[in-house]
Chain A
């Protein structure tokens, strides 16, 4: 039977993206205030988020055994893929644009 924890895992990926988005925005704001180089931090945060999204998708495999219809697994993987796409999309922006212009 699919548990509440499994269901939470299914919708976790967009939350990770939102955390990433706020973190990038916050890091950028701090970097501009104190003239810190933000590139390494942003790279690390992006890599961590991508890894977290991949790690979050791994336990979804378990759902294939307990849920034949595949709804939760497909929803979890779909949301994970969309979140990864959105993360990379935002990351690309932060690489291409000077942060404090």
Chain B
């Protein structure tokens, strides 16, 4: 709402103004957070690049003594980990956080504080991982951290723990980004931007966010199990006590392979964005590129075992995953043909972003072809663990991600800076990178075919490997010089580049609708979209929107706000009030870092204190959520009136809760899969000491109580919605009481059954399943207490009840997964003819 005499634009500038000075870092808006993400990501990329140069120096000539074997192990582990986990995935999230709101035509994504929390966790996690260089125990087990090498027996120091620490933070930031992107893309777009009018970049990030939703939970579970094995001696991966090292490989690669596509799909979408602009025509086969993007995303989940072809798995498994690995070439091929068709007959402008796109096409196609080669099991057996594989995945990842990313950074540089990067220097950086890259990595194909293994710190002379290695090292420094020139251009052009003006590339998508640099509010008004390329097809309407003559041209609820629309057709549904600057997300991230950092050093008291502070800060955060502005409905312009609050299944908050539960559910499915896997590899499951140790009646009673708790929560929420205020404390209070009883009886039963978790993988897995349920009952209990406190403070009413809906969802999930775990324990071993843990 504007102050008297204040124009709409002045009011927008006031509510969206970024804090100045050191308070700038309390900002949560995507235009600030996205830039920080990008800067941090590029910083980590530079560190990992220097590590790569150290490796190439060491391998330049036989018997080099520049790095010893231990240092080499540390350097290649950190290079891989930083590049894959700390740089590649987060930098794509960074592009999404920065560019998507502009491209989708909205002022902000729905959960800016969550994005900011994700960023601070990411930054602290990356720095903690790097701090291992200061403290000494640098991770040294490879970026995949295979067991048993990474287990307590072979890596007794903190090396693996630092790796797990870094990954924990990346997982937190990935979950935050996944929720923000799925809900943001589905629920906050410009009116009229139905899914068929959504740019490819939106589709790619939607696909990628869904992939994160299902790919990261198995890694999260693997991390928990590995840390439990290292700290508590629970033998999930110890073959001598019923575990299996291959379990780690399955969990890791179920994340690790889709991760390649999590990195590649946004890169491909950047190409699909830049190419049409420079060709001056729409992307040929837009819908087929959408199809290919979705198909690639889902197919990528059926490929994980191709990283384990040499691990000794059954023949049919090899064949199944080989077939799936080849099949993924089809959707990738569709995209390549769409790009070639767009290029066909066009007269493109050969500016730097376009050069990077062409570089991508050349390099990625070569990487794709060698990908089909290594998808063939006999060929893979020959080249596995050789430099051929190193060459292949660098062609795919640098070609598929770095070249498009650098092209995209050049392309979108005017948005934050208002300037263009220097074209001559840009072309120099491209050619140095392109030539340097190929001189580095093409010889590695030959080295691999000659038999040079990867992950060796040196090699003897006389094998014909010398000049190829020397060539690769020279190429690496040329590539490094290209990257350095690019960074210098970035820094120089930020202040001194040529002013970009309006839409410098003559693009068709919405991020170029306003002036450059972007204003804090993201635009004077929100346009109505009627085309896939609104700037090409609706120039007059876009110009009017840039003048502030479309929707939401002034704040209507006293604060920062964005528009929620229907998921498919993008019709306006609600004005959402979003968070403004504050420090709670920074403090919560710092407390989270203290909790996990101290835990890594086994400082349990400090870790517990960090945990309590984290919980307190998150509770405070939750307390101030579910806001209901005083005005029930507002006019957003052109006669459109929408509500300012909604607590139903179309709400963005509900969608976020569902996405979070799906993530949690995927982790739970991974846990059940781990249980089944261990059952398969053990000849007897459960082992004789634990057969018939628990009475069936005890399990049935526990299951019954869980169901009662969920029913009580539902009943309380349902009656409260009908105006019976007393029902909420009665229902949720009853559920909490039952949960306490379940926890008590469950722990008593497991203790009485003598399920010592260090003795065998079976009791360890049973304990993890039980603790999973207990933790979720604990979360549901905390949410119930929060809701009751909010009700007492007048913040929960039969209308304002989103937190109630979320709490009931938490009870449902805790009860469902608890019941599923009990059913698994009772029924699964019995189907295999074993005795089972229960006495019937």
Which residue numbers of A lie inside 8 Å of B, CB to CB? 1-4, 6-7, 11, 14-15, 17-18, 21, 24-25, 28-30, 32-34, 67, 69, 71-72, 74-75, 78-79, 82-83, 85-86, 89-90, 92-94, 96-101
| Nearest neighbor of A29 in chain B, beta-carbon distance | B680
Q: Is B689 an interface residue (CB 8 A)?
A: no
> Which residues of B, 287-307, contact A by the 8 Å Cβ criterion?
287-288, 290-291, 294-295, 297-299, 301-302
Q: Is B317 an interface residue (CB 8 A)?
A: yes
* A12 → B minimal CB distance (Å): 10
Which residues of B lie under 8 Å from residue A94 when comparing CB positions? Answer: 316, 319-320
Bound-complex Cα distance A79 to B322 (A): 21
Is A96 within 8 A of B319, CB to CB? yes
Is B327 within 8 A of A25, CB to CB? no
| Nearest neighbor of B305 in chain A, beta-carbon distance | A25
Assuming the A-B contacts A34-B832, A97-B316, A101-B314, are A86 and B568 also in contact, with contact meaning beta carbons closer than 8 angstroms in the complex?
Answer: no
Bound-complex Cα distance A30 to B676 (A): 10
Bound-complex Cα distance A18 to B327 (A): 13
Is A85 within 8 A of B330, CB to CB? yes
Pairs A–B under 8 Å by Cβ, sample size 16: A2-B194, A6-B568, A14-B295, A18-B301, A28-B314, A29-B680, A69-B196, A72-B196, A78-B291, A85-B327, A86-B324, A93-B316, A94-B320, A97-B315, A99-B315, A100-B316
Assuming the A-B contacts A7-B568, A86-B327, A89-B327, are A75 and B290 also in contact, with contact meaning beta carbons closer than 8 angstroms in the complex?
Answer: yes
CB contact between B314 and one of A6, A79, A100 (< 8 Å): that residue: A100
Assuming the A-B contacts A7-B195, A28-B314, are A82 and B291 also in contact, with contact meaning beta carbons closer than 8 angstroms in the complex?
Answer: yes
Which residues of A lie under 8 Å from residue B832 when comparing CB positions? Answer: 33-34
| Nearest neighbor of A79 in chain B, beta-carbon distance | B291
CB contact between A28 and one of B195, B294, B316 (< 8 Å): that residue: B316
Q: Is B217 an interface residue (CB 8 A)?
A: no
Is A32 within 8 A of B314, CB to CB? yes
Bound-complex Cα distance A90 to B305 (A): 14
Is B567 within 8 A of A4, CB to CB? yes
Taking A11-B294, A28-B320, A79-B295 as given, write out 8 further A-B residue pairs in contact, using a Cβ cutoff of 8 Å, ordered by the A residue number. Answer: A17-B299, A18-B298, A34-B832, A75-B290, A89-B323, A93-B316, A97-B316, A101-B316
Assuming the A-B contacts A14-B295, A34-B832, are A21 and B327 also in contact, with contact meaning beta carbons closer than 8 angstroms in the complex?
Answer: no
CB contact between A86 and one of B299, B316, B322 (< 8 Å): that residue: B299
Which residues of B lie under 8 Å from residue A89 when comparing CB positions? Answer: 323-324, 326-327
Is B568 within 8 A of A82, CB to CB? no
| Nearest neighbor of B291 in chain A, beta-carbon distance | A78
Which residues of B lie under 8 Å from residue A101 when comparing CB positions? Answer: 314-316
* A27 → B minimal CB distance (Å): 10
Is A92 within 8 A of B323, CB to CB? yes
Q: Is B404 an interface residue (CB 8 A)?
A: no
Which residues of A lie under 8 Å from residue B195 when comparing CB positions? Answer: 2, 7, 71-72
Is B331 within 8 A of A82, CB to CB? yes
Is A28 within 8 A of B317, CB to CB? yes
Which residues of B lie under 8 Å from residue A32 when comparing CB positions? Answer: 314
Which residues of A lie under 8 Å from residue B331 when comparing CB positions? Answer: 82
Is A25 within 8 A of B320, CB to CB? yes
| Nearest neighbor of B318 in chain A, beta-carbon distance | A97
Is A14 within 8 A of B196, CB to CB? no
Is B298 within 8 A of A17, CB to CB? yes
* B711 → A minimal CB distance (Å): 28
Q: Is B584 an interface residue (CB 8 A)?
A: no
| Nearest neighbor of A38 in chain B, beta-carbon distance | B316
| Nearest neighbor of A3 in chain B, beta-carbon distance | B568
Scan B797-840; emit 1 where CB is below 8 A from any A CB, else 0.
00000000000000000000000000000000000100000000
Interface of A: prevailing SS: helix
Which residues of A lie under 8 Å from residue B196 when comparing CB positions? Answer: 67, 69, 71-72
Which residues of A lie under 8 Å from residue B294 when comparing CB positions? Answer: 11, 14, 75, 79
Return the 8 tightest CB-CB contacts between A and B, nearest first: A71-B196, A101-B315, A14-B298, A78-B291, A97-B319, A93-B323, A93-B319, A99-B316
Bound-complex Cα distance A18 to B314 (A): 20
Is B299 within 8 A of A14, CB to CB? yes
Which residues of A lie under 8 Å from residue B299 when comparing CB positions? Answer: 14, 17, 86
| Nearest neighbor of B681 in chain A, beta-carbon distance | A33
Residue with the greatest number of chain A CB neighbours at <10 A, chosen from B298, B322, B567, B569: B298
* B301 → A minimal CB distance (Å): 6
Which residues of B lie under 8 Å from residue A7 when comparing CB positions? Answer: 195, 567-568
CB contact between A93 and one of B291, B298, B320 (< 8 Å): that residue: B320
Which residues of A lie under 8 Å from residue B319 when comparing CB positions? Answer: 93-94, 96-97
Which residues of A lie under 8 Å from residue B288 when comparing CB positions? Answer: 74, 78
Is A2 within 8 A of B314, CB to CB? no
Which residues of A lie under 8 Å from residue B315 when comparing CB positions? Answer: 97-101
* B108 → A minimal CB distance (Å): 23
Is A21 within 8 A of B568, CB to CB? no
Which residues of B lie under 8 Å from residue A78 when comparing CB positions? Answer: 287-288, 291
| Nearest neighbor of A78 in chain B, beta-carbon distance | B291
Which residues of B lie under 8 Å from residue A79 when comparing CB positions? Answer: 291, 294-295
Which residues of B lie under 8 Å from residue A15 when comparing CB positions? Answer: 298
Is A33 within 8 A of B680, CB to CB? yes
Which residues of A lie under 8 Å from residue B297 when comparing CB positions? Answer: 14
Bound-complex Cα distance A67 to B331 (A): 25
Bound-complex Cα distance A32 to B297 (A): 30
Bound-complex Cα distance A77 to B537 (A): 28
| Nearest neighbor of B302 in chain A, beta-carbon distance | A21
Is B568 within 8 A of A2, CB to CB? yes
Is B291 within 8 A of A21, CB to CB? no
Bound-complex Cα distance A69 to B196 (A): 9
* A55 → B minimal CB distance (Å): 19
Is A75 within 8 A of B194, CB to CB? no
* B258 → A minimal CB distance (Å): 11
CB contact between A18 and one of B194, B302, B569 (< 8 Å): that residue: B302
> Which residues of B, 195-224, contact A by the 8 Å Cβ criterion?
195-196
Bound-complex Cα distance A79 to B294 (A): 8
* A72 → B minimal CB distance (Å): 7
Is A1 within 8 A of B569, CB to CB? yes
Which residues of B lie under 8 Å from residue A90 when comparing CB positions? Answer: 320, 323-324, 327
Bound-complex Cα distance A50 to B569 (A): 31
Which residues of B lie under 8 Å from residue A75 when comparing CB positions? Answer: 287, 290-291, 294
Bound-complex Cα distance A89 to B328 (A): 11
Which residues of B lie under 8 Å from residue A97 when comparing CB positions? Answer: 315-316, 319
Bound-complex Cα distance A14 to B330 (A): 13
Bound-complex Cα distance A96 to B318 (A): 12
Which residues of B lie under 8 Å from residue A99 when comparing CB positions? Answer: 314-316
Bound-complex Cα distance A17 to B324 (A): 11
Assuming the A-B contacts A29-B680, A78-B288, are A21 and B324 also in contact, with contact meaning beta carbons closer than 8 angstroms in the complex?
Answer: yes
Is A4 within 8 A of B568, CB to CB? yes
Is B316 within 8 A of A98, CB to CB? yes
Bound-complex Cα distance A67 to B569 (A): 11
* A37 → B minimal CB distance (Å): 13
> Which residues of B, 532-569, contact A by the 8 Å Cβ criterion?
567-569
* A38 → B minimal CB distance (Å): 9
Which residues of B lie under 8 Å from residue A82 when comparing CB positions? Answer: 291, 295, 330-331
Bound-complex Cα distance A13 to B568 (A): 18
Which residues of A lie under 8 Å from residue B330 when comparing CB positions? Answer: 82, 85
Which residues of A lie under 8 Å from residue B568 when comparing CB positions? Answer: 1-4, 6-7
Is B194 within 8 A of A25, CB to CB? no
* A39 → B minimal CB distance (Å): 12
Bound-complex Cα distance A32 to B299 (A): 25
Bound-complex Cα distance A90 to B598 (A): 48
> Which residues of B, 142-199, contact A by the 8 Å Cβ criterion?
194-196
Which residues of A lie under 8 Å from residue B569 when comparing CB positions? Answer: 1-2
* A6 → B minimal CB distance (Å): 7
Bound-complex Cα distance A7 to B566 (A): 12
Bound-complex Cα distance A75 to B203 (A): 12
Bound-complex Cα distance A72 to B322 (A): 31
> Which residues of B, 320-369, contact A by the 8 Å Cβ criterion?
320, 322-324, 326-327, 330-331
Is A74 within 8 A of B287, CB to CB? yes
| Nearest neighbor of A96 in chain B, beta-carbon distance | B319
Which residues of A lie under 8 Å from residue B680 when comparing CB positions? Answer: 29-30, 33
